[in-house]
Amino acid sequence: MTPWGVVRSLASSLLGGLATLFVASVVVFVLVRTAPGDPVDVQLNEAGGIALSQADEERIRAELRAELGLDRPMVEQYLNWLGRMVRGDWGTSYRTGQPVAAEMLDRMPASLLLGACGFAVGVLLAGALALAASRRPGGVADQAVRLLTLTTVAVPSFLLGTIGLQLATAAVGYRIAGPASVERLWLPALVLGVSIMPTLSRVLRASLVAEGGRLYAVAALARGASPERTLLRHVLRPAVAPVMVLGGLAFASLVTGSIITEAVFTWPGIGNYAVEAISAQDYPVIQAYVVVTTLLVVVVNRGMDIASRLVDPRGDARVEAVA
């Protein structure tokens, strides 16, 4: 790719990422404010126990709405919130009264750790199954791997997590409560890894079979190279390139979208934090969570796209030839 092509690609990625963030911010802002319920009602219910007259309750309700800025037009609310987000002020949690940025950054390491470990487990499982299945396409191992992946992908993640939790609790006394620790990490990481394994393994298997049938791989075998050497030296690198983009999306989804798994295992990450915010209709937390997770997905996706081009530059050559 030429230097001008690199600059154009980076500029296009930046504009596309900003557009995605803007659309996501508008959508989540409108959705949370048009959803049934009212955060003022949640706060009044949590502060229950005091008998109030209807006039006092209406007065307190109006004061709360004014304090939270919910009495202003929606467009004005959105512009004010967007301006604060751009300046780094993510708002204050309705539920805890603490800055949302501080609370999310405090929980982000736990989600990153869980996502990275789950991703590593998924890659190892997917790689082993894809290599076994691609050696003899249509063979016994290939059919067994296909059956295993189809069965696994049909099991919902919450059910997989619940079953794993029950088995681990009965077998080794797994503790579901507590801070983020190695003792609690292995089980949710295993569940997340198994959840992404089917897609990664099937895509990698198809890529390995396709690259293994190309002329350069057949020529290497004809020259006397062993199948293992041909795989490692000629086939694996170009076969991995298209899987890297999918893997990047999988990693981003594990970090930002493992809400169910974090809730099942009470893992103190941003996913569990978002679940608590949704139940309390904590608008600033929900909005910041969606924007941050969207940003992470955009950055990881673009990073994996660039990495895949570095691993297999022929993709750029094919694109430029078509253009």
Give the pLDDT of residue 323: 31
2 vs 118, more confident: 118
Mean pLDDT lowest for which of 104-108, 187-191, 211-215, 303-307? 303-307
The pTM score is 0.77
Alpha-carbon span 34 to 286, nearest angstrom: 13
Boundaries of domain holding 152: 102-322
Alpha-carbon span 31 to 34, nearest angstrom: 5
Phi, psi at residue 99, to the nearest 5°?
-60, 135
One domain for residues 120 and 175: yes
Q: Is residue 248 part of a domain?
A: yes
Alpha-carbon span 319 to 321, nearest angstrom: 5
One domain for residues 159 and 78: no
Residues 15-46 have pLDDT tens digits of 877 888 888 889 888 888 887 777 777 666 66
User: What domain count does the chain have?
Assistant: 2
Residues 183-232 have pLDDT tens digits of 888 999 999 999 889 989 988 888 888 888 777 777 877 887 777 777 77
Q: Is 271's pLDDT higher than 90?
A: no
Q: What is the amino acid identity at position 256?
A: T
**Residues whose CB is less than 8 angstroms from the CB of residue 173 and which lie 6 or more positions away in sequence, other chains included:** none
The CATH number assigned to the domain holding 125 equals 1.10.3720.10
Give the pLDDT of residue 308: 67
Q: Is residue 242 part of a domain?
A: yes
Residues 69-96 have pLDDT tens digits of 788 888 888 998 888 888 888 888 888 8
Alpha-carbon span 237 to 250, nearest angstrom: 20
